[in-house]
Amino acid sequence: MLKVGIAGCGGRMGRMLIQAALEGEGVRLAGGTERAGSALVGADVAGVVGAESVGATITADPAEMFAAVDAVIDFTAPAATLTHADLAAQTGTILVVGTTGMDAAGLARLAEAGRDTRIVQAPNMSVGVNLLFALTRQVAATLGVDYDIEIVEHHHRHKVDAPSGTALGLGRAAADGRGVDLDAVADRGRDGHTGPRADGHIGFAVLRGGDVVGDHSVVFAGPGERVELTHKASDRAIYARGALRAARWAADRPNGLYSMADVLGLH
């Protein structure tokens, strides 16, 4: 039975992860963290969702949680995630990272931590979205450069980063399919008199509003036809279930930095 801890367990995603851990097979909810001063510190972690006690209390000290569990699931913020990666490397604890907004330096630190433990990182933990990544890469490789690629994403009004980590992941998948560097071809904003669309660019359009969990589309617009790949999330529980699946998968793997494509065998 894999003992799982939830970083930032009092947040919206943290609560989803708690519920999924309580319901999931092969895992046991064994810890959680919250910020110092939170009213949840010292409470039983299962009580956050109104469930019966599991005998594990919420702590403000991440090191305490890492010492007590086999795997930690982290959907917090980049700075906190990198602290958790260091702790995972020190303790050999599995770390599943669903945190968005990670820059190249942060990803490099995750890879470094992966030398001493097992880390699974993905911009989106949904099984369906990771299938969309694979399909996007395949379609981009199959269709020629005369097909313009546009990525459209829509999230709730409270989301703070744009484009979303998933949208950027789709952009990287499309760029990989074409054998190009996304940073060299990404068009992340258009305003005013922009002139015609640049050949080979991958465009991003960002929508924010309401309570949309997450909609993502990749549009391949060619001469006389258009191919569209779309995923729509209606329940954040899909991310929690995917993260737990990743934690269970990593339990039998050697040290390293993995992706959800590794977990799902999509390479």
Q: What is the CATH number of the domain that holds 178?
A: 3.30.360.10
Helices (H) and strands (E) in the chain, counts: 9, 12
Token readout for 68 is: 């007590």
Alpha-carbon span 45 to 67, nearest angstrom: 16
Range(s) of the domain holding residue 170: 127-233
pLDDT at 144: 87
Q: Is residue 91 marked as binding?
A: no
8 labelled binding-site residue: yes
Task: Answer for the pair 92, 117: CB distance below 8 angstroms, yes or no.
Answer: yes
Let me know the angle formed at the C-alpha of 124 by 118 and 125, rounded to the nearest 5 degrees.
60
- How does DSSP assign 110-146, residue by residue? HHHHTTTSEEEE-S---HHHHHHHHHHHHHHHHS-TT
Task: Judge whether 123 is annotated as a binding position.
Answer: yes
3 is catalytic: no
The answer to whether residues 99 and 204 belong to one domain is no
- 155 classed as catalytic: yes
35: nearest Cα among 62, 56, 17: 62
- Summarised one tens digit per residue, pLDDT across range 70-101 is 999 999 999 999 999 999 999 999 999 999 88
Q: Could you tell me if 133 and 184 lie in one domain?
A: yes
- Statement to judge: residues 144 and 213 lie in one domain: yes
> Which stretches in the chain have pLDDT values below 50?
none
- Per the annotation, does 10 bind a ligand? yes
Asked if 132 and 140 touch (Cβ cutoff 8 Å), the reply is no
Q: What's residue 171's pLDDT?
A: 97
Instruction: Please tell me the total count of domains within the chain.
Output: 2
Residues 109 and 58 in one domain: yes
Cis peptide before 163 (omega within 30 of 0): yes
- If asked whether residues 250 and 163 sit together in one domain, one would say no
Q: Among residues 3, 84, 154, 155, which one is catalytic?
A: 155
pTM: 0.85
Known binding residue 16? Answer is no
Q: Are residues 69 and 199 in the same domain?
A: no
Catalytic residue among 3, 154, 158, 159: 159
